[in-house]
Amino acid sequence: MSINYSRITALIFLLFFVLYSYFAREIVVFDFDVGADFNAKTFPILISYLGIGVSFLTFVLCKNDGQTMAQYEWLGVIVLFVLVFTYGIIIKSIGFFLSTNLFLLVAYYYLGARSYKVLLLCSLPVVGGMQFMLHQLLGVYIRDPFLNFLGIIS
């Protein structure tokens, strides 16, 4: 087994997801929600297990392609990291619906989608559907000042 950039990256992600799994188990759940099938811990723990599995498989199965660090688009990685960090900061202040739509619109635009029709049709229905599933179907309340102002949720 040779060491290459793919294996180093997979190892970094493996360590990240192991750490994420530890912190996902530390999430505090309401007493009435402990025995529920779906609670605040469920999805983060699922993501951590999937991440551990994929990064372990990548670490074991990747081949040495003679990759160079110059082939990666580091500016794109940094821009998307800043975008995700900003999303995490603004979600509490402006709410899930607006912040997630802004995040998706900017990310799609940065990744090359320039048609306003495509941008709007790929963000608004996705976020609206996710908000509906969380709020109406699963009963998970996400504070959203914008939708509260419009009278859609209370």
| pLDDT tens-place string over residues 59-94 | 988 876 666 656 667 788 889 999 999 999 999 888
What amino acid occupies position 79? V
Closest by CA position to 16, among listed 47, 46, 42, 52: 52
Say yes or no to pLDDT of 34 above 80: no
| Alpha carbon 14 to chain centroid, angstroms | 16
Q: Are residues 29 and 46 in the same domain?
A: yes
Say yes or no to pLDDT of 21 above 90: yes
How many folded domains does the chain comprise? 2
Question: How high is the pLDDT of residue 138?
Answer: 83
Q: Are residues 40 and 97 in the same domain?
A: no
CA distance 59 to 12: 10
Last residue of some domain: 36, 68, 100? 68
Q: Are residues 59 and 90 in the same domain?
A: no
Question: How high is the pLDDT of residue 65?
Answer: 65
Average per-residue pLDDT for the chain? 86
DSSP type of residue 31: G
Q: By three-state DSSP, how is residue 133 classified? A: helix
Range of the domain at 133: 73-154
CA distance 92 to 154: 16
Question: How high is the pLDDT of residue 48?
Answer: 95
What are the tens digits of pLDDT across the range 91-128? 988 889 999 999 999 999 998 888 999 999 999 999 99
Last residue of some domain: 68, 86, 118? 68
Closest by CA position to 108, among listed 118, 98, 99: 118
Global pTM reads 0.63
CB distance 141 to 154 below 8 Å: no
Q: Are residues 89 and 154 in the same domain?
A: yes
